[in-house]
Structure 1
Amino acid sequence: MTTLDSDDTARRGGPVQRGVIFDLDGTLADTAGAITAITAGILTDMGREPDEAAIRATVGKPLDQNFAYLLGLPLDAEQVGEAMGLYRRRFGDHVRSEGRRLLFPGVAPGLLHLREVGRKLGVATSKVHAAAVKTVQITGIDDMFAAIAGHDSVARGKPHPDMALYVADRLGLAPEECVVVGDGLADIEMGLAAGMATIGVSYGVATAEELVAAGAHTVVDSFCAVVDAVLAGVVIAA
């Protein structure tokens, strides 16, 4: 892991992103497998035949939209609400049983290092705010973040810029002072729409090629590499 601080970066002539806005599922927490399995189990219980590829494609998106799509029903359908209730209970049980083990390698020390060298950290996730807070608390990283935004924190969720801009405001930073880190195409699209630098992580849902095609300014394959990229400064081509 690099030991560059913001002064080192400035001397090297690179940009300094003082704020880092992280996605949660698939970026900080290794939950994609559990999300897929739990969702498939619920669909089976409801008499549907789950399509794993279709389910995995919904990871990182709002829960109500996911179940409406997977069940082929409108958002306000009773079965959608039932599925969401089952999911929240089962996923909550999984998070509580796994705790800190859910974090990808390097996340806990990496976040601490970023904070120690003066970066302001936030979370922007398609989970609702309460679920996001519970997840970071149970995984033991809640004290790393100065701001957490969920899908219900803003009028429009990802890929719109609202959530990233909301977090930047809470961090007391301008958009150009922030970098968005995420594993999903919507994370990259959100960051770009907000006028922020973006780092795609290829160890989550989207592939490196997909993240590059979405416009990610850089793509890395580990959380330690995320830290290195943040501290080196993510260059946005003119």
Structure 2
Amino acid sequence: MGTTYQLFVFDFDGTLADSGECVVASFAGSLERNGLPPVEPHRIVENMGRSLPEIFRDLTGGIHDDARYERLVADYRDLYRQLLPEKTRAFPGIRDALEQVTTAGAECTVATSKNTEFAVVSARHLGIGDYFRLYIGDDLVVRKKPHPEMLERTLAETGIDPADAVMIGDAATDIAMGAAMGMDTIAVTWGAHSVEQLRAAGPTHIIDSAAELHRFA
């Protein structure tokens, strides 16, 4: 039996990986290391899906110091690497869903605001790395989500038409990126953004569990 889509493009944090605790702790630790005041965790969660510099600019009130942002990002990545084994896990049903989709003949890739190397390392840690043909992180593009550059590159490298691909994510930026590329989109409700935020973004489909991905395989 064929698949509804030939290509499934997944966001990482909040979609494949239950990494919210790791992300929040890494942001908090980076701010502390750099002598900046703490922020409420919900402010970090609400920003998920954006690039690290964009999030730090929001959390710090827009400090005009590029070197300081570079230190904040470097410290975040250092902390994330340390905390990853303890504070990140695959969401329930993700492995089974990826197995089903790939067994049915579709390809899977990752398009994430994470650094590409971090995405690869994280996926391997979660035991799902072998399911993905390609990883595109924000270090490989100039224009970040919701601009569709990640998807432009993904489709160019896979040779698959936008009409045969679907973008899957937990944030409004994922849905906007997919729509800008002319792709169908699947919003997942187990990540960062609320159902209301996701509905407002206008996804093609909304699902409440990874097991529902079988509808598209």
Q: Same fold (TM over 0.5)?
A: yes
3-state SS of 1:179 partner: strand
Which residue does 2:37 correspond to in 1?
48
Quote the residue 2:150 is aligned against. 163
| 2:180 counterpart of 1:193 | yes
Report the equivalent of 1:114: 101
Which residue number in structure 1 is paired with residue 214 of structure 2?
Answer: 228
Q: 1:84 aligns with which of 73, 79, 95?
A: 73
Which structure 2 segments of 5+ residues have no match?
none
- Equivalent of 1:95 in 76, 80, 84: 84
Contact 2:30 2:79 in 1 (8 A): no
**2:200 matched residue in structure 1:** 213
What SS does the aligned partner of 1:180 have? strand
Q: Secondary structure at the match of 1:146?
A: strand
Q: Percent identity?
A: 32
Given that residues 212 and 218 in structure 1 are in contact (C-alpha distance below 8 angstroms), is that contact kept between their aligned partners in structure 2? no
Instruction: Give the paired residue count.
Output: 216
Q: 1:158 to 1:54 in 2, by over 3 A?
A: same
Instruction: Measure how far apart 1:75 and its partner are.
Output: 6.7
Does the CA contact (< 8 Å) of 1:198 and 1:216 recur in 2? yes
Do the aligned partners of 1:197 and 1:217 also contact (CA within 8 Å) in 2? yes
User: Quick check: 1:154–1:162 contact (8 Å CA) kept in 2?
Assistant: yes
Aligned position for 1:23: 11
Shift of 1:76: 4.7
- The superposition leaves residues 114-171 of structure 1 with CA deviations (integer Å, 9 ceiling, x where unpaired) of 1111011110001121221221122221111111101122221210111112112222
Aligned to 1:234: none
Q: Alpha carbon RMSD of aligned pairs, Å?
A: 1.8
Structure 1 38/193 Cα, relative in aligned 2: closer, same or farther at 3 Å?
A: same
Partner in structure 2 of residue 178 of structure 1: 165
Q: Name the CA distance, whole Å, in 1 between partners of 2:192 and 2:20.
A: 7
Q: Which amino acid aligns with 1:229?
A: R
Contact between 1:36 and 1:59, CA under 8 Å: does it hold in 2? no
Which is greater in Rg? Answer: 1
- Which deviates more, 102-111 or 133-142? 133-142
SS of residue matched to 2:143: coil
Scaled by the length of structure 2, the TM-score of the pair is 0.92
Between 124-133 and 72-81, report the one with greater CA deviation. 72-81
SS of equivalent to 1:210: helix
Q: Alpha-carbon deviation of 1:172?
A: 2.0
> Aligned residue for 1:12?
none
Distance 2:43 2:165 in 1: 32
Q: 1:113 to 1:38 in 2, by over 3 A?
A: same
SS across alignment from 2:44: helix
Give 1:52 shift: 2.2
Which residue pairs with 1:35 in the alignment? 23
TM-score normalised per structure 1: 0.84
